[in-house]
C-alpha cells in the first residue's frame, strides 16, 4: 500500500524559512515523479512543484518560483520542499503527491502557518 507521510510544518514568521519532508513507502520511489500541492484555509488546490523520478527535472508554479525548491533523496525514499522568503499567503496545508499515471496518491498534508 502506498503511504506518504508529510512532516515539517509549523508556525514561521514572514520572511522565514521552513523545510517540509515527505516519507514514502509501499512503492519503488525512484520510479515516480512527485509533486507538492497546497491548499490555503478554506480555499482550493494550488500546484506548487513537480520533480521527476531521477531528480533531474523540476517544474515550479508561478507563485513559488525562485522561493521554493523541491528535491528528493531516492536512497531515503523522501521528498522535500525548501521554502524561503515565506509570506502570509503561503499559509496552507501542503500535500505530497505521487504521480502514478492513475491520478496520483496524496498524503495527509502538513500545515504551514506564516504569521508574526
Partner 1 sequence: NFMLTQPHSVSESPGKTVIISCTRSSGSIASNYVQWYQQRPGSSPTTVIYKNNQRPSGVPDRLSGSIDSSSNSASLTISGLKTEDEADYYCQSFDSGIYWVFGGGTKLTVL
Task: Tell me which stretch binds partner 1 (CB under 8 A): 15-23, 24-32, 72-80, 103-111.
Answer: 103-111
102 binds partner 1 (CB under 8 A): yes
What are the start-end ranges of the E strands in 2-44?
A: 3-7, 10-12, 18-25, 33-39
Task: Tell me which stretch binds partner 1 (CB under 8 A): 7-15, 23-31, 38-46, 73-81.
Answer: 38-46
41 binds partner 1 (CB under 8 A): no
Which has the closest alpha carbon to 37: 68, 76, 77? Answer: 68
Q: What element of type H or E holds 111? A: strand 110-114
53 binds partner 1 (CB under 8 A): no
DSSP states of 37-90 as a string?
Answer: EEE-TTS-EEEEEEE-TTS--EEE-TTTTTTEEEEEETTTTEEEEEE-S--GGG
The CB-of-16 to partner 1 minimum distance in angstroms stands at 25
Q: How far apart are CA 42 and CA 84, in angstroms?
A: 24
Place of cell 527535472: 57
84 binds partner 1 (CB under 8 A): no
Candidates 47, 78, 82, 113; binder of partner 1 (CB under 8 A) is 47
Candidates 32, 50, 51, 80; binder of partner 1 (CB under 8 A) is 50
Binding site for partner 1 (CB under 8 A): 35, 37, 44-47, 50, 59, 61, 95, 101-109
Amino acid at each position: 500500500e502506498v503511504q506518504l507521510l508529510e512532516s515539517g510544518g509549523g508556525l514561521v514568521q514572514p520572511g522565514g524559512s521552513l523545510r517540509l519532508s515527505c516519507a514514502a513507502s509501499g512503492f519503488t520511489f525512484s520510479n515516480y515523479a512527485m509533486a507538492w500541492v497546497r491548499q490555503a484555509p478554506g480555499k482550493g488546490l494550488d500546484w506548487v512543484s513537480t520533480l521527476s523520478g531521477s531528480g533531474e527535472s523540476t517544474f515550479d508554479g508561478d507563485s513559488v518560483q525562485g522561493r521554493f525548491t523541491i528535491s528528493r533523496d531516492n536512497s531515503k525514499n523522501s521528498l522535500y520542499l525548501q521554502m524561503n522568503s515565506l509570506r502570509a499567503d503561503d499559509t496552507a496545508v501542503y500535500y505530497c503527491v505521487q504521480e502514478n499515471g492513475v491520478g496520483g496518491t496524496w498524503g495527509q498534508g502538513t500545515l504551514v502557518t506564516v504569521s508574526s
